[in-house]
Amino acid sequence: MKKREWLIVILPLLATWFVDRVTKMWAADLKQILSFGPLHFVLHHNHGAMLGLFSDLPSVLRIVSLSTGGAFLLCTYALIQYLLPIKSLTLRSGLSILIGGIIGNVTDRILWGYVVDFIVIGTPSLSSPAFNMADALQWVGYGLIVYAIIREGELLWPENNVRKQYWVNMSFQLKYCFMLMAVGLSLTVISMVFSYTYLRVTIQELVGNNQFLMNKFLVPFIITFSVICVAFCAILFAVGRLISHRIAGPLYAFERFLDEALAGVAKPLKLRTGDEFRHLEELAEQINGRLNEIKRERTVNVVEFSETSEDKKKGSAE
């Protein structure tokens, strides 16, 4: 996409995060309930995820895992935006609004350890759970994503744009995937050792060698970090397969094109959307053009040779 289109895609994320921050700063000063018909504003601290989920987990496990999960989703969002085969602004903007809302709540957890909710819709007998602008805008993002998938599904998964082979060059692709996984695993192990050591030494400095507190804080930390590590490596494997497919696929198609060209079958080379080495299409077209010129030259030479032979035969007969 062009730089201007990338700006249009990123702007909804920043706007969603900004609106969420401004409204939460206003809600932090609420001292009493404000009601406007079925719409009510009341300050509520949500220590869980959306609509209070996971609020019963230990604080260390809850805050660290939910905050890290938000950062994890932000990285996944960047990968998806890069790997999407089409430039659908509706789909990309929906993803931006969704991630902007998630990052808004993650910011709360990083700064305060809880999320500020302040919007309630309904009556005293029947009302919605408390939520905030980030939660509301996330549903707008979901709606745009679903709308784009329904409307532009053929562009996302066109039948003529999908290779029948899941693994074009298995040895190369697996090597690429495992290399990415090795890099990711190395980074997570280094981060885990540093974080675990820092957390353990900090606890010892504060409360001494208290085994109960050590287990209370360190065990959830190791479990959470291990889950994140496994998920991170799995995503890296999937991304590696996709990227290597976009590399191996064009090379395989070009190799097949050369085999057919040498066999005298002139077919155009057509790569898939998102493939690397798109310039191979132009090169294949030039090769086909040059082969056609050689064929024409050979045909002219054969005709001229035949005419010369006929003239010689006639001269000998005379």
Residue 115 is encoded by which pair of tokens? 């999320």
Question: Among 20, 56, 108, 135, which one carries the catalytic annotation?
Answer: 135
Question: Among 117, 259, 275, 311, which one carries the catalytic annotation?
Answer: 117
Q: How many CB atoms lie within 10 A of CB 170?
A: 12
Answer yes or no: 117 catalytic: yes
Residues 231-262 as b/e (b if ≥16 CB within 10 A, e otherwise) read ebbebbbebbbebbbbbbbbbbbbeebeeebe
Does residue 115 contact residue 53 with C-beta atoms inside 8 Å? no
Answer yes or no: 311 catalytic: no
Catalytic residues: 117, 135
